[in-house]
Amino acid sequence: MKEIRIHGRGGQGSVVTAELFGRAAFQGGKYCQSFPYLGGGGERRGAPVQAFARISDEPIRIRTKIHEPDYIIVKDITLLHIIDVAAGIKPNGMIIVNSEKSADELNFDKSLNVKTVPATKIALEILGFPIMNTALIGAFAAITREFDIEAIKKAISEKFNGEIAEKNILAAQTAYDFVNKGENIYSQKKP
Amino acid sequence: MSRTAVMEGSFAVAEAVKACRPEVIAAYPISPQTHIIEELSKYVADNELSSKYVRADSEFSAASIVYGSSGTGARSYTASSSQGLLLMTEVLYAMAGTRLPVVLTGVNRTVSAPITIQPDHQDTMALRDTGVIQIYVENIQEAYATHIQAFKLAEDHDILLPVMVCMDGWILTHTFEPVKIEEQELVDKFLPPFVPKYRLDPKNPLTYGSYGDDEVPEFRYMMHFAMEKAKTKIQLIAEEYKEIFGDYFGGLTEAYKCEDAEIILVAMGSVIGTIKETIDQLRSEGKKVGVLKVRTYRPFPAEEIFEIVKNAKIVAVIDKSISVGQGGQLATDIKAALINKKTPPLVYSCIAGMGGREVNINTVKYIINKSENSLITNQVPDIDYIEIKRQYLE
């Protein structure tokens, strides 16, 4: 089982991101479980929020928040100053950050495996607004190979219709290709 | 053909309710119940469901509306949470007393004060004596199946009591996972239209809820007797569901690795999945542990529980609620189920998960560890407040 924790701010669509992770994993032939943590201010726009997703080859029974994630997604770098986003990360875990800056520039601990992806930039170019969820999922698939781009396309088509679906698929594909070409992707490997 | 798709727990419940073709739905929104009734109202607005949908002005009104509609013989549904459920309380007593088979979802959320939207069982526990059948579900697929079974149970002429499907708010209502949605034709076969035994009809006038000075004991006895009969009926319906749809979630209880277990945990609702996960870990270390899921809390399956736990050395009961001044309700009922038996296991009462405080694998391991210690010392604490933050108490 792989566990994903998403850090965002209220209004950025973190719950939908988690849902799309689950849908894409299911389309890729796996079991999934996606859920938000609401409360403690989590329903307010701009407040730090968390959402979670589990992906497994077996049915998933556990129903707790994810304390030791395999993957951590950070949607907003302003959270880095107020939250220990890396808390509990598994020894081989990875952090994927939405940023045009490199992991070095973001001052991550050198022991962490961090990759940055300019997802907001991609979203602004393709969607025209800074909703970077589908770009992040495209980048996630290219980096981790937990599911492929076709599964993401099916997941997006389940959730959205028409032009919104098309543009989001393009955003996911663009981020996916970005990572695969190694362009503009900054990674920080463990020493 | 059935179809399996990733969906939110609330939508799965709405799908189940839609498939049951309720004629009247009345509700008032409250977190975390809202998504269920929102989706149902959409089905009605989009003509996907032919039903009278009433957005009431309070939960008291919502319950009153389905009370009335059920009285006319219409299949009726509502849902609520927390203080919304409490505002329905008076009407729920009336529904059960007049033997009207309304189905409702009790989306579990704690009760104010302090106010929070987090889940525990405090709300539905407050309704345990109303005469409403209560079934607690572990996961979303079970919630789906149990709603379809609930209408069949409620409307059975031997039962005729409201049925509440209790599901943990957020943990089940707001989680997305793959859910198997059954074919409408098969649901129709399993659940034919409601044929009322009595109903409000101008051509054949009768009174519901009339004055009864000297009849109260008999009415209460008949409700209790119907609950007793429901114990058999719930199991028959679960088996019939399995025959048609292939899924089975247990009738009154589900025992997981209890056969040779020395320590058996007892709990209700979504926490069961996390406990099963922990049990498997501990079994691989050679520990003889199991978990008993109580699905049906009212009627309370005392005999069946005794049969499952009778060879265990200790039973650790997790209550996600408290009867203030007494303790955990489930633990109290388990103790009552064992009191007159020869050599019953010890009962260790744990209050955990109140107000949404997480019951995780470490919590479960802690409870099992304390159970092991209790077996060594042969002493059990009367009540254990798991992971209570002592610093708040001073």
pLDDT digits (tens, 9 = 90+) for A137-168: 999 999 999 999 999 999 999 999 999 999 99
Q: Quick one: how far is CA B129 from the chain centroid?
A: 13
CATH of the domain at B217: 3.40.50.970
Same domain, yes or no: B128 and B193: yes
CA distance A22 to chain B (A): 7
Q: How far apart are CA B159 and CA B99, in angstroms?
A: 8
Cα angle at B362 between A60 and B331, to 5 degrees?
90
Cα angle at A155 between A154 and A157, to 5 degrees?
65
Nearest by CB to B177, from A33, A36, A67: name it: A33
The predicted pLDDT at position A43 comes to: 66
- Percent of chain A with pLDDT strictly greater than 70: 93
Q: How confident is the model at residue A190 (pLDDT cuts 50, 70, 90)?
A: very low
Establish how many alpha carbons lie within 13 A of residue B209's alpha carbon, considering only the half-sphere containing its beta carbon. Answer: 14
CA distance B205 to chain A (A): 50
pLDDT digits (tens, 9 = 90+) for B249-286: 989 999 999 999 999 999 999 999 999 999 999 999 99
Q: Which of B245, B262, B278 is the last residue of a domain?
A: B245
Q: Which of B226, B245, B264 is the last residue of a domain?
A: B245
Q: Which residues of A touch B33 (CB under 8 A)?
A: none
Same domain, yes or no: B141 and B18: yes
| Record: contact B277-A62, CB cut-off 8 A | yes
DSSP H or E run through B6: strand B3-8
Q: Which domain holds residue B167?
A: 3-245
CA distance A20 to chain B (A): 10
Plot region of B130 (φ>0 → left; ψ -120 to 50 → alpha; else → beta): alpha
Whole-number average pLDDT of chain A: 92
pLDDT digits (tens, 9 = 90+) for A115-136: 999 999 999 999 999 999 999 9
Strand ranges across the sheet with B384-385 = B253-256, B289-294, B263-267, B314-319, B346-351, B384-385
Same domain, yes or no: B273 and B338: yes
Residue B277 touches partner A, C-beta closer than 8 Å: yes
- Best CATH choice for the domain A2-181 from the list 3.90.870.30, 3.40.920.10, 3.60.20.10, 3.40.50.720: 3.40.920.10
CA distance B155 to chain A (A): 32
DSSP H or E run through B174: none
Q: Which residues of A touch B293 (CB under 8 A)?
A: none
Worst-scoring range by mean pLDDT, A40-54, B116-130, B339-353?
A: A40-54
Nearest by CB to A22, from B6, B270, B360: name it: B6
CB interface of B with A, residues 353-372, below 8 Å:
356, 358-361
Q: Please, what is the end-to-end C-alpha distance for chain B in angstroms? A: 60
- Asked if residue A96 lies in contact with residue A71, where contact means CB atoms within 8 angstroms, the answer is yes
Same domain, yes or no: B81 and B216: yes
Q: Which residues of B touch A19 (CB under 8 A)?
A: 6, 8, 176
Same domain, yes or no: B39 and B92: yes
Q: Which of B245, B273, B308 is the last residue of a domain?
A: B245
Residue A125 phi, psi dihedral angles, 5° rounding: -70, -40
pLDDT digits (tens, 9 = 90+) for B187-206: 999 999 999 999 999 999 99
Nearest by CB to A19, from B32, B116, B176: name it: B176
The predicted pLDDT at position A14 comes to: 92
Q: How confident is the model at residue A40 (pLDDT cuts 50, 70, 90)?
A: low
Q: Which residues of B touch A38 (CB under 8 A)?
A: 32, 117, 170, 174
* Whether the predicted pLDDT of B244 surpasses 60: yes
- Asked if residue B18 lies in contact with residue B49, where contact means CB atoms within 8 angstroms, the answer is yes
Measured CA distances, B132 to B24, B109, B125 (Å)? 19, 18, 11
Q: Which of B175, B270, B357 to mutate to test the interface with A (most CBs of A within 10 A)?
A: B175
Strand ranges across the sheet with B133-136 = B52-55, B24-27, B76-80, B103-108, B163-168, B133-136, B296-298
Nearest by CB to B170, from A38, A64, A158: name it: A38
Residue A14 touches partner B, C-beta closer than 8 Å: no
* Whether the predicted pLDDT of A191 surpasses 50: no
Task: Name the residue among B158, B132, B149 with its Cα closest to residue B13.
Answer: B149
For the record, the structure tokens of B173 come out as 């209502």
Whole-number average pLDDT of chain B: 97
| Record: contact B177-A32, CB cut-off 8 A | yes
Same domain, yes or no: B212 and B257: no
Same domain, yes or no: B232 and B263: no
- Asked if residue A115 lies in contact with residue A97, where contact means CB atoms within 8 angstroms, the answer is yes
Residue A4 phi, psi dihedral angles, 5° rounding: -120, 130
Same domain, yes or no: B191 and B301: no
Residue B175 touches partner A, C-beta closer than 8 Å: yes
What is the tally of structural domains in chain B?
A: 2
| Record: contact A61-B178, CB cut-off 8 A | no
CB interface of A with B, residues 57-96, below 8 Å:
60-65, 67
CATH of the domain at B278: 3.40.50.920
Task: Name the residue among B336, B295, B311 with its Cα closest to residue B165.
Answer: B295
Same domain, yes or no: B224 and B263: no
- Asked if residue A138 lies in contact with residue A152, where contact means CB atoms within 8 angstroms, the answer is yes
Q: Does residue A45 sit in helix, strand or coil?
A: coil
* Whether the predicted pLDDT of A169 surpasses 70: yes
- Tell me the β-bridge partners of B177: B7
| Record: contact A23-B6, CB cut-off 8 A | yes
Residue A32 touches partner B, C-beta closer than 8 Å: yes
CB-based burial label for B230 (10 Å; 0-12, 13-18, 19+): buried
Residue B45 touches partner A, C-beta closer than 8 Å: no
Plot region of A184 (φ>0 → left; ψ -120 to 50 → alpha; else → beta): left
CB-based burial label for B302 (10 Å; 0-12, 13-18, 19+): middle
Measured CA distances, B164 to B66, B85, B128, B132 (Å)? 14, 11, 10, 7
Q: Is the peptide bond before B114 cis (omega within 30 degrees of 0)?
A: yes
Average pLDDT over residues B49-78: 98
| Record: contact A62-B356, CB cut-off 8 A | no
Q: Any idea which residue has 């005999």 for tokens?
A: B303
Same domain, yes or no: B267 and B332: yes
- The strand ranges marked E within A17-155 are 31-37, 48-56, 71-74, 94-98, 114-117
Cα-based torsion angle of the residue sequence B164, B167, B169, B173 in order, rounded to the nearest 10 degrees: -110
Cα angle at B297 between B293 and B299, to 5 degrees?
130
Plot region of B223 (φ>0 → left; ψ -120 to 50 → alpha; else → beta): alpha
Which stretches within chain B are classed as H helix? Answer: 9-19, 34-45, 59-71, 82-87, 89-97, 122-125, 140-155, 184-190, 216-245, 271-284, 302-309, 329-338, 361-377
Same domain, yes or no: B238 and B305: no
Same domain, yes or no: B239 and B262: no
For the record, the structure tokens of B17 come out as 């309710």
With a CB cutoff of 8 Å and minimum separation 6, the contacts of B234 are: B135, B149, B153, B251, B252, B296
pLDDT digits (tens, 9 = 90+) for B16-56: 999 999 999 999 999 999 999 999 999 999 999 999 999 99
CA distance B126 to chain A (A): 23
CB interface of A with B, residues 130-159, below 8 Å:
158
| Record: contact A61-B171, CB cut-off 8 A | no
Rg (CA), chain B: 21
Q: How confident is the model at residue B391 (pLDDT cuts 50, 70, 90)?
A: very high
Task: Name the residue among A153, A161, A137 with its Cα closest to residue A51.
Answer: A137
Residue A35 touches partner B, C-beta closer than 8 Å: yes
Nearest by CB to B175, from A35, A67, A158: name it: A35
The predicted pLDDT at position A183 comes to: 57
